Amino acid sequence: MKIATIIFVFLYLVFNTNASPVAKTPTANTKKVCLWDHWVIYIFNHIKDPIHVRVKSEDDDLGDHTLALNQNENFSFCENFLLTTMFYADFKWKGKTALFVLFDKNVWPHCGKGSLKKSRVCLWIVRDDGFYVAGEWAPFPDGWTKMYDWS
Ligand SMILES: *[C@@H]1O[C@H](CO)[C@@H](O)[C@H](O)[C@H]1NC(C)=O
């Protein structure tokens, strides 16, 4: 095979692998093999009313979900070849809304480090005073960084 063919096949496989649909419910301790990191994102509702969440990326629309108090939405994916994977989310709570980037390069530093066996985790909590991120569980507010407000 020509070198160009080999490179083409390699790139084709890499891109195709990463275009696979997002797994919506990560099973604990199941880390997928990725070219770069495997990520798991959790969004927890800490508001006593139900909220609406809709997560999207360029390729995926995870749909409109209602989260009651302490319920979460979670999904996992492989970081893409160019490290440009981006998810954003649209939130609704009574008359308030928020729309922001849930995952991209700027969010990485707030997330967990992961390891050979563990996926990298980003935890979001939704509170009545805004949106907070952390890399591991800790009682609020220790280790949580406020990222956005409701509007
Ligand atoms: C992930 O979300 C599903 C609902 O899509 C839920 O049933 C499950 O409990 C969540 N996982 C964890 C670890 O909370």
Q: Tell how far the Cα of 9 is from the centroid of ligand 1, in angstroms.
A: 36
pLDDT along the chain (151 residues), means of 10: 66 51 59 92 98 95 97 95 96 97 97 92 98 95 97 95
What's the pLDDT score for residue 30? Answer: 76
Question: Is the CB–ligand 1 distance for residue 71 below 6 Å?
Answer: no
Strand, helix or coil at 109? helix
Residues contacting residue 50 through CB under 8 Å, at least 6 positions apart: 66, 67, 68, 69
Whether 136 and 40 have beta carbons less than 8 Å apart is answered as no
What's the pLDDT score for residue 19? Answer: 41
What's the pLDDT score for residue 9? Answer: 60
Nearest to 106 by CA among 88, 92, 118: 88
Ligand 1 mutation target, pool 22, 24, 25, 136, most atoms within 8 A of CB: 25
CATH of 2-148, one of 3.30.2310, 3.40.50, 1.10.10, 2.60.130: 2.60.130
Which pTM value belongs to this model? 0.84
**What phi-psi label fits residue 70: left (phi over 0), alpha (psi between -120 and 50 degrees) or beta?**
left
Q: Tell how far the Cα of 123 is from the centroid of ligand 1, in angstroms.
A: 13
Residues contacting residue 67 through CB under 8 Å, at least 6 positions apart: 43, 44, 45, 50, 51, 52, 53, 73, 126
What's the pLDDT score for residue 10? Answer: 62
How many degrees, rounded to 5, is the angle at CA 43 between CA 37 and CA 48?
170
pLDDT in tens, 86-103: 999 999 999 999 999 999
Q: Tell how far the Cα of 112 is from the centroid of ligand 1, in angstroms.
A: 19
Supply the residue whose CA is at minimum distance from atom 13 of ligand 1: 28
Residues written for the chain: 151
Instruction: Kindly list the domain boundaries of the chain, sorted by start residue.
Output: 2-148
What's the pLDDT score for residue 3? Answer: 73
